[in-house]
Amino acid sequence: MQRLGQGYEHPNPHGDLCKLTVSFQFKDGTSNGFGFFYGSESEGVPEDVATFVTVAARQTEPWYDDFKRNTARRGQR
């Protein structure tokens, strides 16, 4: 959370340009986040950020799978 409101850019990106944006919506309706620009052949985002994103994706995968199924069903009606 120390990174909120900040952006980071790799000083010498190599390969295709990549952007990772992490956003949070808070209970009070506000939102904040941070972003990283780097190259596909560069070292990428800091390890703590990569770990956070990986864990968050795993934990929300069941919800996302349900969301995709429900969206597909609505499209078939």
Q: What is the pLDDT of residue 7?
A: 83
> Per-residue DSSP letters for 11-75?
SS--SSEEEEEEEEE-TTS-EEEEEEEEETTS--S-HHHHHHHHHHHHHHHHHHHHHHHHHHHHH
Report pLDDT digits (tens) over 21-61. Answer: 999 999 999 999 999 999 999 888 888 889 999 999 999 99
The predicted model scores a pTM of 0.68
Q: What is the pLDDT of residue 77?
A: 62
Count the helices and strands in the chain (H runs, E runs): 1, 3
Any idea where the domains of the chain sit in the sequence? Answer: 7-76
Give the 3-state secondary structure of residue 1.
coil
